[in-house]
Structure 1
Amino acid sequence: MVWKTEHSQRPDVEQSDDELKMIPLWSVILSVMVFVGIQMLSYGYFGGPPPGGPRHGNPVMHAIGSYSWGAALASYVLLIGYISRDVKRRNMRPALWMLIVLVMPGGIGAIVYFLLRQPILSRCPSCRTEVASDFHFCPQCQFQMKPVCGQCFRGVHITDVYCTNCGHDLAEDAMPARLRSYSD
């Protein structure tokens, strides 16, 4: 169909599936084991009535509690797996960040990681210099990484006709040849 485009055809659209692929297999397996282990512990050890005594408590609340704790701990294991891969992608020290994430209680280490992590670096196609992904021009060779307005030099989308900041007609700007292929 005309209105459906694949992500491979749209370079300006970020793929969210790539973030889910960052979770390693060992983390998925371990999180399933943690969830099942919490359920077995909850129903096997805490679930039965004491020997010779009546059973106390609401079984529905017991089930909700065990599923909630199992899901929370399994999600934390998945988060640790994601951080273990993401820290390498961002050229940070993996041992230090895994220690911080594991030692700080209650998920505070993961919050600290997400607040302090470095931006993802990409390479300039012209000179292969590592640059931040939000740079519009390479600082080494002045290669235009992303389209910008010719008047205010703010970033614009490839499909924009006018600049969203100053209203400049983007068709008047001299667009690099490699960006012209996206215009029509």
Structure 2
Amino acid sequence: MRPVSPAEGLPVAALLLAAALVRPGPGLRRARSRWTRPRPRAGRRDTRDDGTAGARTAERAAALLRAGVAPASAWQHAGGGADAPADVRAVWRLVTVTGAPAAEALDACAGGVRADAAARAAVRTALAGARVSARTVSALPLLGLVLGAALGAPPWVALLGSAPGRLCAVAGGVLLCAGRWWSARLVAAAERAAG
């Protein structure tokens, strides 16, 4: 077999590098949905929630109750009802049925919702480092191939010019993909465990 020239191997390395850097599966779908999500128009409230919409509803209702507004009216003006998050609706039902102090219960509910949102944000922040590390480590072998070619020692000759070299290239590609898959599973399991 004739040796593979660097000009022939460079496109292969570029494709391998691109394949390693693309996020597989649900991550790519989430990214695509972020790119295609319609932007809110001027004057309209952004409906995306950072996890604290329930806390804001509960705090508004509690403030209105403390100001002397009737409970049903306070709940309606605070944005309560079917659109309110389930945990806030549950607290509201509890205080209306039992007669418990509504403002205090709603404030406690808001504190719990905010603490939960902060914990989810902390988990997302902690897992961001793991995601970046996995992508960086999986790109290193491919960057090594490109660097070798740039220094004048094209690895394509050894990898694609003989049967053992091709076997090593295939095994390396399989192990690289398996490592990316395993890291994605570990991160997803940590996200599920965090709730």
Q: TM-score range by the shorter chain?
A: under 0.3
Please, what TM-score do these two structures have when normalized by structure 2? 0.22
Considering fraction of residues, name the structure with more helix. Answer: 2
